[in-house]
Amino acid sequence: MSTPISSIRNLGPASEESFARAGIHSAEELRELGADAAYARLLQAGSRPHFIGYYVLVMGLQGRPWNDCKGEEKKALRKRFDQIKTENTTAKSEAAGLSRLERELDAIGVIPRRG
């Protein structure tokens, strides 16, 4: 028996749909993957990176309210988010055959998304 993703604090039906598109279908799968790997899967499945979505996920997996993330903890999470985003944007753009300049422009959202 699997538990719905929406049973995790801070995560609702929209999160459940996004995770399903990324091949994650239960709270157990999400917990086993952890926030970083699960968020990377979301990006690989085409979700646009959004820092609030990332730290809401981290807080939810810890059983904490989404707005509990503050100060140094939030700064540390921002660094992790930026790293996950960069790794996934680079891998995706390299797979799409983009030049280095195009990858940089893609990373900041200047050129249209491909693929």
In contact, 32 and 9? CB cutoff 8 Å: no
pLDDT one-digit tens code per residue, 28-70: 999 999 999 999 999 989 898 999 999 999 999 999 999 999 9
Of 113 and 34, more confident: 34
Q: Is a pLDDT exceeding 70 seen at residue 115?
A: no
Q: Model pTM?
A: 0.78
For residue 113, give the 3-state DSSP assignment: coil
Of 95 and 84, more confident: 84
User: Confidence band (pLDDT; 50, 70, 90) for 102?
Assistant: confident
Identify whether 112 is part of a domain: no
Identify whether 113 is part of a domain: no
**Which domain CATH number covers 65?**
1.10.150.20
In contact, 39 and 21? CB cutoff 8 Å: no
Number of domains in the chain: 1
Q: Is a pLDDT exceeding 80 seen at residue 99?
A: no
Q: Is a pLDDT exceeding 70 seen at residue 73?
A: yes
In contact, 16 and 4? CB cutoff 8 Å: yes
